Amino acid sequence: MTDLTGKTIAFLVAHEGIEQVELTEPWEAVENAGGTPRLISTQSGTVQAFHHLDRGDTFDVDATVADADPDSYDGLVLPGGVANPDALRLDEDAVGFVRSFVEGGHPVAAICHAPWTLVEADVVRGKRLTSWPSLQTDLRNAGAEWVDEEVVVDGQLVTSRKPDDLPAFNQALVELFAG
């Protein structure tokens, strides 16, 4: 088993619209590998997750993205859901956080619609990625090579398409974060 002991992993989400399973399963994978996950959001308090279009659970926020320092974290997970990354791309602090993370050489994992935030941060040019199929044009227009694969690792980025890909995504992100 890959060990994340001593590593703190940021999970960046908007106030609502997070696909719950794309938050909870990677969170558990980080914890099971010995890492410490932290929930970073655009607002303090709690965030609302969803099971597709139905409300799911709420989760307590550890820090707001405006107050978070990318250098305090060893990895970043961007869960999907359609509304979640769409809201993050409109938040300057969230986009700046993601951009700083990538430019600083830190590993980033994004699933489903989450690569939209990577597009907005302008960090996909020349990268090979996957995502939910409806994002392929956006990713290609931003200079990425889009492929339809379960999980893709390109340097410091790991991406997957959908909840069905979570086992492979979780394994790849834990390996990437372990270094």
Active site residue ranges: 113
Separation of alpha carbons 23 and 5, rounded Å: 20
Beta bridge partners of 111: 160
> Given the DSSP bridges, would you call strands 63-64 and 151-154 parallel, antiparallel or unpaired?
unpaired
Q: Hey, what amino acid is at 107? A: P
CA nearest to 160, candidates 13, 14, 26, 7: 26
Helix, strand, coil tally for the chain in percent (to 5): 35, 30, 35
